[in-house]
Amino acid sequence: MSTLSRQSTLADKIGEMGVRLTKQRRFLIDLIESSQTHLHPSDILKLARQRGEKMDRTTVYRTLGMLKEMGLIEELDLLHLSGHEHYYELRDKNKRHIHLGCVKCGKILEFRSRLIEQLESEIRKETGYDVLSMRIEVAAICRKCRGENGDE
Ligand SMILES: [Zn+2]
Ligand SMILES: [Zn+2]
């Protein structure tokens, strides 16, 4: 029933997997999908309330757990630089970058490199394993915190 030309969204994938999409689930999924940053459950709750969506903590955690089990999102601790909550992002997106975290100011930078894909294909070639997710979190100190006045 879906048109082939349209890009498959997370909601489509979930539908194909036979999971019922309630209004709340749909809202949460759209939120993660359109987010430019890593979201943790409190962010999601706050955004939901701002947009007048009725959602409680349990629903948020349960839905995140479900999406994680389905292999659609990745759970990150981002070096626990800003507390104990975990962050979430799309697995497809997560696979293409590593996270650099400044241990002083807590700033997280997403770093992309062709080496990530190279590593993936090397793994496939040498072991026959297909990489589903790859989490590389690097503790670092940013230029600012090192006291250099760079042109960041
Ligand atoms: Zn990321
Ligand atoms: Zn820093």
Residue-wise pLDDT for 7-46, tens only, equals 568 888 888 888 888 888 888 888 888 888 899 899 899 9
Separation of 147 CA from ligand 2 center, angstroms?
A: 9
Assigned CATH for 95-152: 3.30.1490.190
Which ligand ends up closest to the CA of 78?
1
**Separation of CA 58 and ligand 1 centre (Å):** 24
Output the CA 1–ligand 1 centroid distance in Å.
Answer: 33
Distance 146 CA to ligand 1 centre (A): 23
Per-residue pLDDT at 56 exceeds 60? yes
Provide the whole-model pTM.
Answer: 0.76
Ligand nearest to the CA of 81: 2
Tell me which of 152 and 40 has the higher pLDDT: 40
Same fold, 1-91 and 95-152: no
| Ligand 1 centroid, distance to 74 Cα (angstroms) | 9
What CATH number matches the domain at 1-91, 3.90.79.10, 3.40.309.10, 1.25.40.80, 1.10.10.10? 1.10.10.10
* Cα–Cα distance, 40 to 53 (Å, whole number): 17
Percentage of the chain surpassing pLDDT 70? 92
* pLDDT at 139 (0 to 100): 95
**Average pLDDT of the chain, as a whole number:** 86
**From ligand 2's centre to the CA of 104, what distance in Å?**
5
Question: What pLDDT is attached to residue 127?
Answer: 98
How far does residue 91's CA lie from ligand 1's centre (Å)?
Answer: 9
Q: Is the pLDDT of residue 152 over 80?
A: no
Residue 1 has pLDDT above 60, yes or no: no
The pLDDT of 132-139, averaged and rounded, is: 89
Rounded distance from Cα 127 to ligand 1 centre (Å) = 26
111 C-alpha to center of ligand 1: Å? 8
What ranges do the domains of the chain cover? 1-91, 95-152
76: its two tokens: 């990150």
**Average pLDDT, stretch 91-104?**
88
In this structure, the strands spanning 137-140 and 98-102 are parallel
Categorize the per-residue pLDDT at 151 as very low, low, confident or very high, splitting at 50, 70 and 90.
low
Q: Which residue has the higher pLDDT, 97 or 2?
A: 97
